[in-house]
Structure 1
Amino acid sequence: LSLNETCLAGRDSGTLRKQAPLWLKLEAIVFLGSNTPNSIITFWISVCRMTRVVFLHPDLGIGGAERLVVDAAVALKSRGCSVQIWTAHYDPTHCFSETQDPNLHVKCVGDWLPTSVFGYLHALCAYLRMVYVALYLVFLSGVEYDVIFCDQVSVCIPVLRLSRHRKKVLFYCHFPDQLLTQRKSFLKKLYRTPIDWLEERTTGMADMILVNSQFTAGIFRETFHSLSSVQADVLYPSLNTCTFDQPSTEAQSLEGLLPEGTSCLFLSLNRYERKKNLGLALEALAALRSSLPQGQRAGIHLVVAGGYDDRVPENVQHYTELKELAAQLHLEDCVTFLRSPSDSQKVALLREHFGIVPVEAMYCCCPVIAVNSGGPLESVADGETGFLCEPTAEAFSKAMEKLIREPQLRRDMGQAGRKRVQDRALIGHHLCSLATYTLESFRMAAIHLWLRCFWSRS
């Protein structure tokens, strides 16, 4: 079905509009053909209004997961859904600009709860904060909703099941949390055992499970053995193209950020976390400079930009580590570290020559250099829209050097990347998929509501 065919009628509509999904018309005929007028009216009231969606996210800051939630919320809202985002932390000075739109309701509860205990128990505290958010939503908020989009933390799903009228829950798994931590001591293993069990158990309680790539889907099956029979559908992160299609403001956004004479700019865009391997970009730049003659080195510059939060010790520590590494490699004048860049700065940088954020970079006509594993394998065409390399400084530096020495190749790859994004519908397809998953959950909820009404009258 196309998006137009899957749109629901507005709340104030007294009849089913033309855009009402065909499956609703068919199911209405099948399920309601011989039943009472009151039950029919009850069913259609539940169907013929906008779908009410609540997003649950642990920390609505600046990062890839937050970008996905915000883009998904904006996308569903643009398709006529009533949308709210609930979170345990929200800072208006450290967030994506879309969340400051008064038409997109963001509710923060439970921020008074600790994020750690003396620098430890981060996962446990995150679980408790999300459980509190879910309890508040279900029992204290008075908010009516049809579908819940639960992001990252699954432990709150059992609480959501306590709703008087059970709602449908979509759980989005970016990556199994238990694989993102180390277990070097016996105490850490003991601490993680019940948390890992809870993660797997509660994830399986969702009505629908979504993952961000085929790679993650494979890891999901390998990690959660008890969920091997559960289908995890792939919903790739969407791209808000409006941000990139706005009139150019590069001059103002990059003023004072780049040194004069910069002729070739490389960009690494990731959160300041050790697992992102940001040091690889610095090591690759050092290897690149050593392979080029003196005259070609002068105009090369690297910008390391990404999400940064003073409340997160790892962000602070890793930022310092990267600065020290740059000094060791004698790159102080060749690297700019940018913490939590604004949307305009990010767009301006991506409109330059190079990017390591695959889909956004390709849409901005930037060739991509990425590690040959995980998500980039599904989005980057090696040798066509960029290069997929081994995670070594030598491999990355060779790809960087090739783009420097062959300007036409750089332009061709940039154009091929944008065409790939457009041709493969990496934008519209993701939005359509999200709408389909949400409406499918709403469809199940509406049928369950009708069945309750039917049996109560039988």
Structure 2
Amino acid sequence: MNVVFLHPDLGIGGAERLIVDAAVALKQKEYQVKIITNHHNKDHCFPETRDGTLNVEVHGMWIPRSFFGRFIAFLAYVKMICAALCLVIFREKPDIIIVDQVSAPIPVLRWFTNAKILFYCHFPDLLLTGRQSFVKRLYRSVIDPIEEVTTSMAHKHLVNSDFTRRVFKTTFKSISSEPEILYPSINLLAFDREYDVSIQDVIPDYRSDQEVFLSINRYERKKNLPLALKAFGHFIQNLSPDVQKKYRLIMAGGYDERVEENVTHYKELVNLSVELGVASHTTFLKSPSEPVKILLLKMARALIYTPDKEHFGIVPLEAMYCRTPVIAVNSGGPMETIIDGVTGFLTKDEPELFSDAMKKVVSNEISGVSMGNAARTRVEQFFSFNAFANSLNRILQEM
């Protein structure tokens, strides 16, 4: 079959990783695959989208992301509709179109193509924004119904977790069909590959006797990143200066100069590390490459995963496959991927409780080796790339 993906911004986030994995999986099963996106920066993307593995077309990049920081959702709708119109104008004839994140182009695709439309919902957009002012409430009173109506026009809906499925059903009450869960996966081959990169290349002052706690998330406030800094502060506060030097926190995350929140929140976190007295023990990395990210995941004693009510969370799977225990907030997607006390720890989003879990990881209270092995086994059994590819293939064949 001929499958086209429509995606708003092909950067390096979890949603983008899922789309790349889905496209690679279908290509391996001999589908004809193309990704149409509104933005693709070859210096800020996954390797498969720039090395020729995947066919990527960019339409609508000339449309601004925002208008003086406003109308982000509206302009995202316009950009995706533009991409859909380009698909129609250039006489693409896909059998199935997979629309990701933004549902606005679905009516155009229904009216002007014969393709079946599959919509992948990572989380309802109307729940991701505030309504502090009257103008914002008025604006969203128009945008929100459009999201529900256009979402309802897809032939089938997929979600990334049971948590998101429950939210989908309670949010879009007019949609009677049951969304199906397609758990994101990771390309295990990428993690088994050897890369010519060392930690000294990334962090010149790293000492071989240091133990690393790692946080990987985009520099966005909703990711709850201050929790990692505060937990690390609690962890080292009663240690002697000599012992403190044994530990390092690495904050690595997606960073895009175009996104004001990335820029401002990065500065906030750096300032917070100074306030907490952990700046000399903390390293901040912007948009690490895939080889660097994998290196960090393999060498870390634990992944500190801080988002609350995360829709799914792909990084915990990556860490678990690298045999690295995960300490995460006891809510959302991590509750479906992490087994508390077996493959990591689930706890409330309180610095003291995260710190307690960190102490368990570096003490003799648990076996880090057995926990890491259990984590890897869980990923291989339930979240492997093959399981993901087979599920997606079945869904498309049924459609």
**TM-score interval (norm. to shorter):** over 0.9
Supply the distance in 2 between the matched residues of 1:143 and 1:232 (Cα, whole angstroms). Answer: 27
SS at match of 2:194: coil
How far does residue 438 in structure 1 lie from its aligned partner after superposition? 1.7
Tell me the CA shift for residue 115 of structure 1: 1.1
Name the CA shift for 1:405/1:250 in 2 (closer, same or farther; >3 Å).
Answer: farther
Instruction: Say whether the 8 Å CA contact 1:258–1:336 is kept in structure 2.
Output: no
Following TM superposition, by how much is the alpha carbon of 1:424 offset from its aligned partner in structure 2, in angstroms? 2.8
SS at match of 1:292: coil
**TM-score, normalising length: structure 1:** 0.82
CA contact (8 A) 1:253 1:348 kept: no
Matched, 1:369 2:327: yes
1:84 corresponds in structure 2 to: 34
Question: 1:297: how far off?
Answer: 1.7
Following the alignment from structure 1 to structure 2, what is the Cα–Cα distance between the partners of residues 230 and 209? 8
Equivalent positions of 1:114-263 (< 5 A) are: 114-138=64-88, 140-164=89-113, 166-227=114-175, 229-251=176-198, 254-257=201-204, 259-263=206-210
Partner of 1:413: 371
Q: State which of 251, 256, 263 in structure 2 corresponds to 1:304.
A: 251
Unpaired stretches in structure 1, ≥5 consecutive residues:
1-50, 442-458
Q: Which residue type is aligned with residue 302 of structure 2?
A: F
CA drift of 1:407 comes to 7.8
Q: Distance in 2 between matches of 1:182 and 1:84?
A: 34
Worse-matched range after superposition: 290-299 or 185-194 = 290-299
TM-score normalised according to structure 2 size: 0.94
Equivalent position to 1:436, from 377, 387, 394? 394
Mapped partners of 2:201, 2:234: distance in 1: 26
CA apart distance, 1:408: 5.7
On the 8 A contact 1:72/1:238 being kept in 2, the answer is: no
- Contact preservation (8 Å) 1:261, 1:299: no
User: Counterparts of 1:131 and 1:262 in 2: how far apart (Å)?
Assistant: 53
Aligned residues: 388
Partner of 1:29: none
Q: State the 1:249 CA deviation.
A: 3.8
Secondary structure at 2:198 match in 1: helix
Task: Report 1:18-29 matches (<5 A).
Answer: none
Q: Determine if contact 2:93/2:115 at 8 Å carries over to the other structure.
A: no
**Aligned-residue offset at 1:101:** 2.6
Return the alpha-carbon distance in structure 2 between the equivalents of residues 370 and 426 of structure 1.
21
Between 422-431 and 263-272, report the one with greater CA deviation: 422-431
Work out which of the residue numbers 391, 407, 413 in structure 1 matches 2:349: 391
- The one-letter code sitting in structure 2 at the alignment partner of 1:146 is D
Per-residue displacement from partner, 1:234-292 (whole Å, max 9, x unpaired)? 00111111110102545267543552255211111111100000110000000101143
Query: How far apart are the structure 2 equivalents of 1:299 and 1:342?
Result: 25
In the alignment, the residues of structure 2 paired with residue 224 and residue 246 of structure 1 have an alpha-carbon distance, to the nearest angstrom, of 42
Pick which of 338-347 and 258-267 moved more. Answer: 258-267
Distance 1:251 1:327 in 2: 27
Contact 2:183 2:383 (C-alpha < 8 Å) held by counterparts? no
Task: Give the distance between the partners of 1:95 and 1:194, measured in 2 at CA.
Answer: 33
Which residue number in structure 1 is paired with residue 381 of structure 2? 423
How big is each residue's C-alpha offset from its partner over 1:352-379, in whole Å with a ceiling of 9 and x where there is no partner?
1222421111110000100000000000
Moved more, 288-297 or 216-225: 288-297
**Match for residue 104 of structure 1?**
54
Please state how far the C-alpha of 1:118 moved relative to its aligned partner: 1.5
1:20 aligned residue: none
The answer to whether the 8 Å contact 2:6/2:98 transfers is: yes
Aligned partners of 1:149 and 1:170 also within 8 Å = yes
1:365 alignment partner AA: R
Amino acid at match of 1:175: F
Deviation at 1:295, TM superposition (A): 4.0
1:334 paired to 2:281: yes
For residues 394 and 252 of structure 1, the distance between their equivalents in structure 2, rounded to whole angstroms, comes to 29
Deviations 1:20-57 (A, max 9, x none): xxxxxxxxxxxxxxxxxxxxxxxxxxxxxxx1110000
Structure 2 runs not aligned, ≥5 long: 306-314
Counterpart CA distance in 2 for 1:375 and 1:428 is 20
Residue of structure 2 equivalent to 1:62: 12
**What is the alpha-carbon distance in structure 2 between the residues aligned to residue 249 and residue 408 of structure 1?**
32
SS of alignment partner, residue 267 of structure 1? strand
Share of identical aligned residues, percent?
Answer: 48
**d(CA) in 1 for partners of 2:319, 2:141:** 39
- Structure 2: distance between partners of 1:343 and 1:367: 20
The alignment yields a C-alpha RMSD, in angstroms, of 1.5
Check conservation: 1:367, 1:410, Cα contact below 8 A.
yes
Query: 1:333 deviation in Å?
Result: 1.1
